[in-house]
């Protein structure tokens, strides 16, 4: 059903332009023979299409039908998502068919996807990563959806779901904390105490080394995990406002605050697992699970999800110790995932109906039935299926005055990419000379990225 209202009114000739854009994009890539493979890999939709038939098919006709682009491509979240979709279908009468795409492919392709023929709804992330696309007119504001679901969420979740223009663009589903994980049995056996301050933490690390344990399991081959360590040190030393300003380049990377973060990190370097730049995080998590390491700082979405169910009851965590008393333990990274409505969606009305359902505690609870590492964002939600880690996560996140998302979600992705290679350089050489070099290069690159 071709409908003129599908094309955006203030951009005449969108289809021709976006086609030209596609050609030019392909052109830019194919000028280099070696890059062709990348072009193929990014356009290949490595996923199948599944359809959730609405429970009541007669009401489905009345409710319309939508397609849902999903990056929940791993088996566990895929199943969880399928159960939410079928619940949404049953409740709203909207027939939903899901297009699952490998999550890296989905993210790499997002800009072409949103400008081409996107699904009516899509999975996405909160924070800057949302604002970036909203500001470029690729998403539809969903203030009317929030008029109904606003009561479900607290102010932090609300501000995470807004674009820079103050309109809502996202319905959040879950988040998860970045904290220090440890095995209860190890701490009991050796009589370790939970460190409250930086000095406690360093003392604990020294003790662990004496006990022939690697204090911190650590991996950075994937690029992003160590950004979390930078984030938390920055939040502990300089606070949340500074973090956000730095991410938006309102504070230069050569600032003394950044030097402090790297210097603090340099103190911790002797206690981090060696060879991090060549290790994937799953291997680091296994080091913790095998009790060769005492602690690991990463998201529960990774560490807890990587643990075998047998060992999961032994896993516990504590928030990163205090460094600067002014900021205590008030902040942490708690990345939030949710759903957005692309501007070029063909069926925005049934899509909004579905979003209204997704913004309920019930929908979150359905999703979390099979997910034992994330927590829902609905106010006061304690799903009956929560394990100890999840219950503790809820408390830890709600104890924060503000939560940041993650460096690669709070700043321009290009800047996060630039910092990945700088931080890998820091891990190789945490000397003050190299720190100065890193800060200068980061600032030079930030100037070109934020121009």
Please give the residues from 28 up to 57 whose contact with other proteins meets the rule CB under 8 A.
Answer: 28-35, 37-39, 42
Q: Decide: 407 and 231 in contact? Cβ < 8 Å.
A: yes
Which of 89, 411, 430, 435: binder of other proteins (CB under 8 A)? 411
- Residues from 313 through 342 that contact other proteins (CB under 8 A): none
For the bound state, the minimum distance from the C-beta of residue 39 to other proteins, rounded and expressed in Å, comes to 7
| Choices 74-82, 83-91, 133-141, 178-186; region in contact with other proteins by CB under 8 A | 133-141
Choice from 414, 431, 432, 436 touching other proteins (CB under 8 A): 414
With CB under 8 A as the contact rule, the residue among 5, 58, 308, 451 that binds other proteins is: 451
Q: Whose Cβ is closer to other proteins: residue 154's or residue 448's?
A: 448
- For other proteins, the closer of residues 222 and 316 by Cβ is 222
Binding-site string for other proteins from residue 193 to residue 222, where x marks contact by CB under 8 A and - marks none = ---------------------x-----xxx
Which residues from 134-153 bind other proteins, rule CB under 8 A? 135-136, 138
Residue 287 lies near other proteins (rule: CB under 8 A): yes
Number of amino acids touching other proteins (CB under 8 A): 75
Nearer to other proteins, 119 or 364 (CB): 119
Among 85, 88, 101, 110, binds other proteins (CB under 8 A): 110
Residue 328 φ/ψ region, left for φ over 0, alpha for ψ in the -120 to 50 degree band, beta for the rest: left
The gap from C-alpha 330 to its chain's centroid, in whole angstroms, comes to 20
Looking at 15, 49, 104, 189, which residue binds other proteins (CB under 8 A)? 104
Contact in structure between 375 and 393 (CB atoms under 8 Å): yes
Least distance to other proteins from the beta carbon of 356, Å? 28
Give the nearer residue to other proteins in terms of CB position, either 383 or 446.
446
Among 196, 269, 413, 434, binds other proteins (CB under 8 A): 413
* Nearer CB in complex with other proteins: 282/385: 282
Site for other proteins in 428-447 (CB under 8 A): 428, 441, 444-445, 447
Angle at alpha carbon of residue 402, lines to 397 and 404, rounded to 5°: 85
The footprint of other proteins on residues 225-284 (CB under 8 A) is: 248-250, 273-280, 283
Cα separation, 444 vs 123, in Å, equals 34
Residue 440 C-beta: closest distance to other proteins, Å: 10
Pick the piece of the chain touching other proteins (CB under 8 A) from 93-101, 102-110, 173-181, 352-360. Answer: 102-110
| Nearest distance in Å: CB 107, other proteins | 5
128 touches other proteins (CB under 8 A): yes
Interacting span for other proteins (CB under 8 A) from 47-55, 78-86, 381-389, 419-427:
419-427
Pick from 187, 224, 312, 434 the residue near other proteins by CB under 8 A: 224
Nearest distance, CB of residue 248 and other proteins, angstroms:
5
Q: How far is 430 from 424, CA to CA, in rounded Å?
A: 10
In whole angstroms, the minimum distance from the beta carbon of 123 to other proteins comes to 14
Among 7, 15, 20, 211, binds other proteins (CB under 8 A): 20
Point out which span in 89-97, 197-205, 295-303, 417-425 binds other proteins (CB under 8 A).
Answer: 417-425
Toward other proteins, which CB reaches closer, 340 or 354? 340
Which residues make Cβ contacts (< 8 Å) with residue 93, sequence separation at least 6? 54, 56, 59, 60, 62, 63
């Amino acid at each position: 059903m071709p409908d003129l209202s599908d094309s955006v009114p203030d951009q005449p000739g969108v289809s021709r332009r976006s086609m030209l854009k596609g050609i030019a994009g392909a052109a830019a890539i194919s000028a280099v023979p070696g890059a062709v493979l990348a072009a193929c890999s990014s356009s290949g939709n490595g996923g199948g299409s599944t359809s959730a038939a609405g429970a009541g098919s007669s009401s489905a006709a009345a409710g319309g039908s939508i397609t849902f682009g999903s990056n929940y491509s791993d088996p566990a979240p895929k199943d969880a998502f399928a159960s939410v979709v079928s619940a949404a279908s049953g409740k709203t009468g909207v027939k939903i068919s899901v297009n699952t795409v490998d999550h890296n492919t989905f993210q790499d392709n997002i800009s072409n996807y949103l400008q081409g023929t996107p699904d009516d709804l899509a999975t996405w992330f909160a924070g800057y990563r949302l604002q970036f696309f909203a500001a470029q007119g690729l998403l539809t504001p969903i203030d009317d959806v929030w008029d109904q679901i606003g009561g479900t969420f607290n102010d932090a979740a609300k501000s995470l779901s807004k674009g820079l223009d103050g309109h809502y663009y996202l319905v959040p589903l879950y988040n998860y904390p970045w904290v220090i994980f440890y095995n209860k049995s190890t701490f009991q056996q050796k009589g370790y105490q939970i460190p409250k301050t930086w000095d406690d933490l360093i003392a604990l690390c020294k003790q662990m080394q004496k006990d022939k344990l690697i204090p911190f399991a650590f991996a950075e081959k994937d690029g992003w995990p160590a950004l979390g360590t930078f984030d938390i040190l920055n939040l502990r030393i300089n606070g949340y406002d500074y973090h956000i300003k730095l991410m938006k380049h309102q504070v230069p990377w050569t600032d003394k605050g950044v030097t402090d973060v790297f210097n603090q990190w340099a103190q911790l370097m002797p206690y981090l697992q060696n060879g991090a730049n060549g290790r994937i995080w799953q291997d680091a998590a296994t080091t913790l699970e095998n009790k060769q390491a005492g602690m690991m700082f990463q998201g529960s979405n990774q560490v807890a999800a990587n643990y075998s169910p047998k060992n999961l009851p032994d896993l516990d965590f504590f928030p990163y110790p205090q460094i600067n008393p002014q900021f205590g333990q008030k902040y942490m990274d708690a990345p939030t995932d949710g759903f957005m409505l692309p501007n070029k969606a063909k069926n925005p009305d049934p899509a909004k109906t579905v979003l209204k359902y997704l913004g309920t505690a019930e929908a979150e609870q359905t999703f979390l039935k099979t997910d034992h590492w994330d927590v829902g964002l609905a106010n006061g939600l304690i799903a009956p299926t929560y394990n100890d880690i999840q219950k503790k996560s809820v408390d830890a996140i709600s104890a924060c005055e503000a939560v940041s998302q993650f460096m690669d979600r709070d700043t321009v992705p290009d800047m996060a990419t630039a910092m990945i290679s700088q931080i890998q350089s820091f891990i190789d050489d945490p000397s003050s000379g190299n720190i100065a070099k890193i800060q200068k290069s980061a600032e030079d690159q930030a100037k070109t990225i934020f121009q």
